Structure 1
Amino acid sequence: MNPTQPLAITMGDAAGIGPEIIVKAFAAGQAQDCVVVGDAQVIAAAAARLDIPGALGPSVARIEQVAQWHGLPPGVIPVLQADGLEPGSLRDLAPGRVDARAGAAAHAAIVTAAQAALRGEVAAIVTAPVHKEALHAAGVPFPGHTELLQHLAGGAPVRMMLANDELRTVLVTIHMSVREAIDAVTFEAVLDTLRITHAAAQRWGQAHPRIAVAGLNPHAGEGGLFGDEEIRILTPAIEQARAEGIDASGPHAPDTVFMRARNAPGHAGAFDVVVAMLHDHGLIPVKYMGLDAGVNVTLGLPFVRTSPDHGTAFDLAGRGCANPASLASAIAMARQLISRA
């Protein structure tokens, strides 16, 4: 990762709020070291709809190579046309509706940005939201960013982390049914998550990160009364991680561990990261603290990838009222991570 290179922001689903919040981030001066990957006409149309007055109103320039961003004047949004995405092919896209063309375009933007990151042309990737139904309609065989980026990066194990200034949570399982996810909580999956989390935190500059493991069952199983996964799976994985020098503890009661880990004014967190077994177990506490500040980070990739902590917000698309705060937080988090890598 080269912090002198720009960050790539993928356009996301063109029928959602991604293009709008990207334009707003540029207008607010929060994305001046970034290149958008997607469709230049979509970004230009979003800028025209917003009608941002005066010097804050950005213009759009289509570039053919990432390096061309250096020569653009301030206030211009550089857009690298995604590979295989024909200019103008999304001109009549209706805001707020699932469309296979938008899913295909979002996929093309992610692939183009990931390939640029793997070549070292961009320092990190910040992904605007995609819509899973649109990806599916386009025939994309991945349910979301995490699985697609893992595939593009060679298939190494990755994990999803949701973070804000006060709490960081890493997930053992992500996008699957709860019934399937419980079966996916294995010794190997938990141990891999602890290893990936430990290595990522060290790259952020935490030499000895304190990792709390949240139980799967109420009260972390209460000694086997409410389930034995903690005894059979979690505790052995924690013990193995500790034998490898990882400061992992638990399993802790999942209904209190996030409160204990929260690092807030007047409350020093007892842990640096919480590892949770299930998607909603881990994400609800962070999202409850506010979507605007939350950032999704994919751990285990050979490049930094962050994303806003919200979806495509089809109900807001085209209305000009979407809040770019979470995107700005994702950009700031990406800068922070590459500066410490």
Structure 2
Amino acid sequence: MSAASSDVPRIGLVLGDPSGIGPEVCAKLLASGAWRSHVRLHVVGDPRVLAQAAQQTGVALPDDVPVDGAVPFDPSSIRQGVASAAAGRVAGEWLKRAVKLAVAGELEGVCYAPLNKSALNLGGWHYPDDLNLFAAITAYAGPQGTIGELNVQPHPHGDLWTSRVTSHVPLKDVARHVTQEAVQDAIHLIHSAVRRSGVAQPRIAIAALNPHAGDGGLCGDEEATVIAPAIERARATGVTCDGPFAADTIFLRARRPDGVQNYEAVVSMYHDQGQIATKLLGFSRGVTALAGLPVVLTTPAHGTAHDIAGKGLADPGALEQAVRLAARLARQTIVPSEPVSDAAVL
């Protein structure tokens, strides 16, 4: 049955790196049934990996959830808690399989358990981050500024979204990558994504680059010469955005301590400027969404946690939120029908 034939979207749940906690959080989520009211899940990964995770976590897996084992993997072939080429290779293959199902119309989105960049690289997936990996898998050929990694913190008063102008760039190189075009791209990307999540007119706060927002030019001039003009240009297109605000207070502006939300989104200038704040707001609930690609893609904002892998201790809370977000985004997404070429990567 086609995923589009139901009001409840069908989401692919990819087991992630089998050496980490991904299979365990998947097993716990499946057993909890917390997802049943808003999504139909379709597991992508070897059923032996999932069965091992269920045993380690002490849960009983439901018997009505399909498991796509088209890419086999024997969990006894690796050591849990250790990054390896074998684990990285199969994690990438499972992702590729899930994306193929999505573009074929069998799934309306994909939620994947944590990956390990070192293992992916050892396994032959030579990309700096998830975004570039999926751009290759989907054969994305559009402008770089129209795709990006967004972070989402679920909250009863409204989700708080975060994007960044630069991502996996050394800190010493950040300033030269903060251009008016790059700031505008980040603003428009998050504006579009938050609108698609159901917010008609998102309010966006833009961070400064320098301490104290540059102190009027005493501590850098990027706020006046780069960021402020980009904000004005975004406003001219109908985007509601303010700033630049000092980075040490911008999240307090966005969401007050009493929970009142003044902004639905924050644009940071570099990775840790936004990531530290969002993870402090709720490490076990944070979600990453990859925006602008032809497939809905979400994942927990945490990593593979090799130190506790195989011990049954992993918290599935962030994965549950990632599934919820994928379902919400999928309801407003048309899945493309063009197949992904086997030659798209590697």
With normalisation by structure 2, the TM-score equals 0.86
Please report how far the alpha carbon of residue 150 of structure 1 lies from its aligned counterpart in structure 2 after TM superposition: 2.3
Q: Percent identity?
A: 38
* Pairing 1:145-184 to 2, within 5 Å after superposition: 145-153=130-138, 154-156=140-142, 157-166=146-155, 167-184=160-177
Structure 2 counterpart of 1:115 = 100
Give the equivalent residue in structure 2 for 1:67. none
1:214/1:251 contact within 8 Å kept = yes
Partner of 1:281: 273
Counterpart CA distance in 2 for 1:288 and 1:191 is 27
CA-to-partner distance for each residue in 1:274-293, whole Å, 9 max, x for gaps? 00011110111110022111
Question: What residue identity is the alignment partner of 1:135?
Answer: L
Please state whether the residue corresponding to 2:262 is helix, strand or coil.
coil
Structure-2 change in CA distance of 1:188 and 1:152 (3 Å) = farther
Inter-partner Cα distance in structure 1 for 2:259 and 2:312: 38
Of 42, 46, 56, which residue of structure 2 is paired with 1:39?
Answer: 46
**Most deviating of 307-316 and 185-194:** 185-194
Q: How many residues are matched?
A: 318
User: What's the CA shift for 1:42?
Assistant: 1.1
Greater mean alpha carbon deviation, residues 101-110 or residues 189-198: 189-198
Q: 1:137 aligns with which of 122, 147, 153?
A: 122
Name the amino acid aligned to 2:252: M
Aligned to 1:302: 294
Q: How does 1:237-316 map to 2 (within 5 A)?
A: 237-262=230-255, 266-316=258-308
**Separation (CA, whole Å) in 1 of partners of 2:226 and 2:332:** 33
Query: Is 1:235 paired with 2:228?
Result: yes
Distance 1:77 1:97 in 2: 29
User: Could you tell which deviates more after superposition, 200-209 or 247-256?
Assistant: 200-209
AA aligned opposite 1:251: P
- In the alignment, is the contact (CA less than 8 A) between 2:162 and 2:190 conserved in 1? no
Asked whether the 8 Å contact 2:287–2:321 carries over to 1, the reply is yes
Matches within 5 A, 1:204-219: 204-219=197-212
- Asked if the contact 1:159–1:172 (Cα under 8 Å) also holds between the matched residues in 2, the reply is no
- Please say if 1:25 is aligned against 2:29: yes
Change (3 A) 1:296 1:88: closer
- Partner Cα distance (1:177, 1:9) in 2: 32
Distance 1:81 1:289 in 2: 36
Aligned to 1:66: none
Alpha-carbon contact 1:5-1:121 (below 8 Å) kept: no
RMSD of Structure 2 on Structure 1 (CA): 1.9
Compared with structure 1, are the counterparts of its residues 5 and 257 closer, same or farther at alpha carbon in structure 2 (3 Å cutoff)? closer
> Deviation at 1:22?
0.3
Deviation sequence 1:186-245 (CA, Å, 0-9, x none)? 211111111111111221222221111101111111221111111221111111111111
- Tell me which stretches of 4 or more aligned residues in structure 1 moved more than 3 Å: 1-5, 74-77
Q: TM-score, normalised by structure 1?
A: 0.88
Structure 2 residue matching 1:321: 3-state secondary structure: coil
Q: Greater shift after overlay, 292-301 or 101-110? A: 292-301
Flag structure 1 segments of 5+ consecutive residues without an equivalent. Answer: 59-73
Give the counterpart letter for 1:297 in structure 2: A
Give the Cα separation in 1 of the matches to 2:104 and 2:181.
Answer: 31
